[in-house]
A and B are shown apart, each in its own frame.
Chain A
Amino acid sequence: MINTPQQTKKLQSKLGRVRGLGSTREGVHHWWAQRMSAVALLPLSLWFVYSLISLTGTDYDTFIAWASEFGNSVFLVLLVVTMFHHAQLGLQVVIEDYVHSEMWKMGMVLFVKYGAVVFAASAIFAVLKISIAG
């Protein structure tokens, strides 16, 4: 009867419980961000697959015309931001689960997080360039 939820709860400070902080000192933020980005990706990824189907076999000029349409540019930027955010959250969990050396774990998580920002930034800049410069 040592590890019942009631017993565990008593070991938490009142402040810690109020702030919702667990053993990782971050509460449910990571979990919640993963769910929120997942929900946003449902319509975004379906829109993207539908767009790719209608873009199949089109040439450069048609693609540029499509991507520079206002609504398509906005959706592309939203897709890139949400997808890279969701991907780096997920990859972080995979790394934390399977990489047991603390140095490698931290190094790989940082690599993934910086990499996501770099590639998302270049994708967003690409959309802006297509949209504005045509």
Chain B
Amino acid sequence: MPNDTRPLSPHLQVYRPQITSMLSILHRITGVVLAFVALLLAYWLSAAAYGPEAFGRAQALLESGFGRFVLFGFTFSLFFHLCNGIRHLGWDMLWGFELSQVRFSGILVLIVSSALTVLSWLMAYGHVGKL
């Protein structure tokens, strides 16, 4: 019979945080966050189909301070999951499997996804021409 009190692998409580494990769990967290982005996309499109009032309410919600804060987090989640996903597809093809390469690509993914997030928001604000 299974013993429910046995500790489960990978024994997170005794593991020292490392770039490899941290980015692995971040990939999962951002993936779950992006499922909510899919829900938001469905709500946004449905609001537009429903009419100007419903779309206006959705836009007001997204343009509020809290809305922008959440959207910024969604933007980073998308770019991180996308860049780290490319890293995963590389591993699937057995590219960059040396520990030094794994650490380097991990740091690269963090830098590139942060840069793309900031760049997108700068472009969006530049497009509107005001804050």
Contact = CB atoms under 8 A, between A and B. Distances in A.
A63 B54 CA distance: 13
Interface residues of A, number: 36
Given A42-B82, A54-B127, A119-B42, A90 B31 contact: yes
Contacts of A122: 42, 46
B55 interface: yes
Most chain A Cβ neighbours within 10 Å, of B46, B75, B123: B46
B56 A123 contact: no
Nearest to A120: B42
Give the dominant DSSP class at A's interface: helix
Contact of A130 (B38, B49, B56, B89): B49
A125 B86 contact: no
A88 B43 CA distance: 17
Most chain B Cβ neighbours within 10 Å, of A35, A56, A94: A56
Given A45-B78, A53-B120, 19 more contacts: A38-B89, A39-B89, A42-B82, A42-B86, A53-B127, A56-B125, A57-B128, A64-B48, A67-B45, A83-B34, A83-B41, A87-B35, A94-B28, A119-B38, A122-B42, A123-B42, A125-B49, A126-B42, A126-B46
